[in-house]
Amino acid sequence: MSDRTIQKRNRTLKPRDIVAIAVIVLLTAAAVLFASLFVWSRSKAQAENARYRTTMENVYRKSYYSLVYNTDALETAVSKLAVARSKSLRQEYLSDMTAYATAAAENLANLTEESADNSDILKFINQTGDFAKYLDDKLNKGGDLTEKDRETIGEIGAVVRAVKTELQKVSGEVEKDGFSFLRTIESGDPKFSETVRSFENEKIDYPSMIYDGPFSDSMTERTAKGLLGKEVNEEEALRRVSDLLDDVKISEISVKDGNKNVFETFDFELETSRGKCYVTLAKKGAFPVSISFAEASAGALSLTAKEAERAAETYAEKIGLSSMKAVWASLYDNVYYVNLAYFENGAIIYPDLVKIKVNGETGEICGMESLNYIFNHTERPVFGSVMPPSEATLSVNEDLSVESVRLAVVPTKGGGETLVYEIYGTKGEEKYFVYVGAESGDELKIMRVLDGERGLLLQ
Distance CA(118)–CA(122), nearest Å, equals 7
Domain assignments of the chain as residue spans, ordered by start:
3-44, 52-197, 234-376, 389-458
Closest CA to 237 of 272, 287, 274, 278: 287
SS3 content of the chain, % helix, strand, coil (to 5): 45, 25, 30
Q: Which of 207, 193, 287, 275 is nearest to 241 (CA)?
A: 287
- In contact, 278 and 292? CB cutoff 8 Å: yes
Question: Residue 210: its pLDDT value, please?
Answer: 33
For residues 459 and 450, give the distance between their C-alpha atoms in angstroms, rounded to a whole number: 8
CATH number of 389-458: 3.10.450.40
SS3 assignment, position 249: coil
- Tens of pLDDT, residue by residue, the chain (459 residues): 455 444 444 455 555 555 556 656 566 665 656 666 656 556 656 666 667 667 767 777 777 778 888 888 888 999 999 899 888 899 889 988 888 888 888 777 777 654 444 466 777 788 888 888 888 878 887 888 888 888 888 888 888 888 787 777 776 666 666 667 666 656 555 555 555 454 444 555 555 443 356 676 665 556 888 888 899 998 898 999 888 987 888 888 888 887 666 788 888 888 888 888 888 899 999 999 888 887 766 778 899 989 999 999 999 999 999 899 998 888 877 888 899 999 988 899 999 999 999 999 999 998 889 888 998 898 888 777 789 999 999 999 999 999 999 999 988 876 788 899 999 999 998 889 999 999 989 998 888 887 654 445 554
Residue type at 258? G
Please, which residues have CB within 8 angstroms of residue 348's CB and are 6 or more apart in sequence? Answer: 325, 327, 341, 342, 406, 407, 408, 409, 422
d(CA 338, CA 332): 11
* Gap between the Cα atoms of 310 and 295, Å rounded: 22
- Is the entire prediction scored with pTM above 0.75? no
Residue 386: its pLDDT value, please? Answer: 86
Distance CA 225, CA 284 (A): 11
Distance separating alpha carbons of residues 22 and 296, to the nearest angstrom: 85
Measured CA to CA, the distance from residue 64 to residue 426 in angstroms comes to 32
